[in-house]
Amino acid sequence: MTETPRLHDRDAVPAAAGADGRRSLLAGASGRFLSSLDDAGRTHVTDLALQMAHQLNQWAVKYQLIRRVRVWPLALSVAAAAPFSDAEALASTARLSLWVFTLDDLFDEERVSRAELMRRVERYRGIAQFRDVPGARDSLATALRDVRDDLARYPLFDELGAGWAQALCGTIDGMARENQWRTAYLQAGHADLPSYEDYLETGLYSIGGPPHIWASWITVGDPSTPRHLDHLRRMEREASICIRLANDLRSRQKEIAEGNVNALVIIGQLLREQGSDDVAADQGAESRIRCDIEGGLELLSSLRAGAATASGQPEAATADIARFVCDFYAEHDYHTFSSQPR
What digits encode the pLDDT tens for the residues 98-143?
999 999 999 888 778 888 899 999 999 999 999 987 766 789 999 9
Sequence-distant (6+) residues with CB within 8 A of 115 are none
Instruction: Evaluate if pTM is beyond 0.95.
Output: no
Question: What are the pLDDT digits (tens) for 165-202?
Answer: 999 999 999 999 999 998 898 888 777 899 999 999 99
Comparing 254 with 282, the larger pLDDT belongs to 282
Sequence-distant (6+) residues with CB within 8 A of 179 are 107, 117
Among 81-85, 130-134, 228-232, 238-242, the least confident range = 130-134
> Residue 19 pLDDT > 60, yes or no?
no
> How far is it, in rounded angstroms, from Cα 146 to Cα 128?
11
pLDDT band at 287 (very low <50, low <70, confident <90, very high): very high
What integer pLDDT is reported at residue 255 of this predicted model? 75
pLDDT band at 13 (very low <50, low <70, confident <90, very high): low
Sequence-distant (6+) residues with CB within 8 A of 322 are 209, 238, 239, 240, 242, 243, 296, 297, 300
What integer pLDDT is reported at residue 114 of this predicted model? 86
> How far is it, in rounded angstroms, from Cα 294 to Cα 139?
39
Asked whether 128 and 169 are in contact (CB, 8 A), the reply is yes
Asked whether 9 and 60 are in contact (CB, 8 A), the reply is no
Quickly name the fold that domain 20-329 has: Farnesyl Diphosphate Synthase (1.10.600)
> Residue 311 pLDDT > 70, yes or no?
yes
